[in-house]
Amino acid sequence: MPADYHTHTPLCRHASGDPEEYIDAAVAAGLSAFGLSDHAPVLPEPFDDWRMFEHQLPEYFQLIERARKHAAGRIDVRCGLECDWLPGCESWIADLAARHPWDYLIGSVHYLDDWDFDNPKWLGRWAESDVEALWTHYWQTYAAMARSGLFDIMGHADLIKKFAFRPAGDLRRFYEPAIAAIADSGKAIELNTAGWHKPCAEAYPADAFLALACEAGIPLVISSDAHAPTEVARDFPKAIELAKSCGYAETVLFEQRTRRNEAL
């Protein structure tokens, strides 16, 4: 089984479970490695109510140490963060990157302007939105995140479809410029299985995106985005099938921000 690098902790205030429970689930699933990547702090605080505070970083490192201790001799534990791509965030991401020997950083677009569009709290806003314009804005933002080169893994590429608001027609017109930017950056993407459990009822990204990404030579990881121990490695067999059907024969592993391949 590939590694599962995209998982959360209670520090973000919308995940549950002890690190030991996540490790037990990862070992039971036979993963090659397990990684934590909780929602990174953003300044100035409080930025919103779904991430750790800056002063909690030491607590986060303690959770990772607990996971390592519990996992010793059974599975490798990697440490990362899921960082938000926000206008002008570059120096903050560089600051965070220098604070710890991270194994990888995940970059995610959860915000368009001041709207965390994937937050169910603001679902009503979608009904009165221009979906085509939002998608255009989202993918331009996503491509800019890729071009920054600040992240090892580009998170849940088409999260914008979460509530199943999709423009009409062939969506590859949105995917292609983003894929070109990611391929240029040399960074990896993730196949995030959480989307199967959201209104969009599809993994992130869609299979058409994955096929184009594979063709462009973009490396892949498979992630659960677990917010509870029971979600670790969720749907991985199905994800492996999907990745293979889109042309992938390997995924990648990270250690100290270097990457190596592993056969699927």
Q: Which is nearer to Zn ion, 50 or 136 (CB)?
A: 50
Tell me the window of 17-25, 57-65, 81-89, 237-245 that interacts with Fe ion (CB under 5 A).
81-89
225's contact among Zn ion, Fe ion, none, with CB below 5 to 8 A by partner kind, is Fe ion
Residue with the shortest CB distance to Zn ion: 79
Give the shortest CB-92-to-Fe ion separation in angstroms.
Answer: 17
Tell me the window of 62-70, 121-129, 182-190, 222-230 that interacts with Fe ion (CB under 5 A).
222-230
Give the number of residues in contact with Fe ion, rule: CB under 5 A.
3
| Residue 231 contacts Fe ion per CB under 5 A | no
| Residue 225 contacts Fe ion per CB under 5 A | yes
| Among 204, 212, 138, 229, CA closest to 172 | 212
Whether the bond into 46 is cis, omega within 30 of 0: yes
- Rounded Cα–Cα distance for residues 143 and 179 (Å): 8
Provide CB contacts within 8 A for 69, sequence distance 6+: none
Tokens (6 digits) for 159: 């999260």
Longest dimension (CA), the chain: 53
- Rounded Cα–Cα distance for residues 100 and 182 (Å): 25
Q: Which is nearer to Fe ion, 9 or 108 (CB)?
A: 108
Give the shortest CB-80-to-Zn ion separation in angstroms.
Answer: 9
Tokens (6 digits) for 149: 């080169």
Tell me the window of 71-79, 129-137, 217-225, 243-251 that interacts with Fe ion (CB under 5 A).
217-225
- Rounded Cα–Cα distance for residues 155 and 158 (Å): 9
> Which DSSP letter does residue 122 get?
G
Give the shortest CB-130-to-Zn ion separation in angstroms.
Answer: 26
Q: CA distances (Å), 102 to each of 67, 77, 78, 110, 255, in order?
A: 15, 11, 8, 22, 8
| Residue 38 contacts Fe ion per CB under 5 A | no
Tokens (6 digits) for 99: 């604070």
At CA 233, angle to CA 54 and CA 236, rounded to 5? Answer: 135
Tell me the window of 89-97, 107-115, 132-140, 160-168 that interacts with Fe ion (CB under 5 A).
107-115
Which of 108, 185, 223, 251 contacts Fe ion by CB under 5 A?
Answer: 108
152's contact among Fe ion, Zn ion, none, with CB below 5 to 8 A by partner kind, is none
Give the shortest CB-141-to-Zn ion separation in angstroms.
Answer: 18
The footprint of Fe ion (CB under 5 A) covers: 82, 108, 225
